[in-house]
Amino acid sequence: QVQLVESGPDLVKPSQTLSVTCTVSGALITTSRIYWSWLRQPPDAGLEWVGAITYAGDTVTNPSLRARTSISRDTTKNQFTLQLNSVTPEDTATYYCARSTKLPTSSSGRDWSKYTHRGQGTQVTVSS
């Protein structure tokens, strides 16, 4: 059974770096043709696809966030991590990781039906 669990700080100060990690069990993040995404949903707003890392370790990010986003992985721990730099209160959201069999785009990635598995989400607040 594939499970994804997000972890990270509850509170980040403005201008700092937000870092959240997804730990995957029941499947390897290096499995061929599987894609691992980060999504977020601010309070009272819709779902936004942030970016993804492929089974090969390549990354794709939402153009609107590309300048501030880095996605990496640790295959020894079967984890992948999102780092978002220079955060502002507008980055306050619940952050989710998810698995898919096709590489999402900033448009298709906003649809939960595109994913086979997802984590429960972790709430991150940006505030001083």
3-class SS at 26? Answer: coil
Confidence category of residue 80, pLDDT binned at 50, 70, 90: very high
> What distance in Å separates the CA atoms of residue 123 and residue 106, rounded to the nearest whole number?
21
pLDDT, residue 107, reads 92
Which whole number is the average pLDDT over 87-110? 96
pLDDT, residue 96, reads 98
pLDDT, residue 85, reads 97
- Decide if 20 contacts 82 (C-beta within 8 A): yes
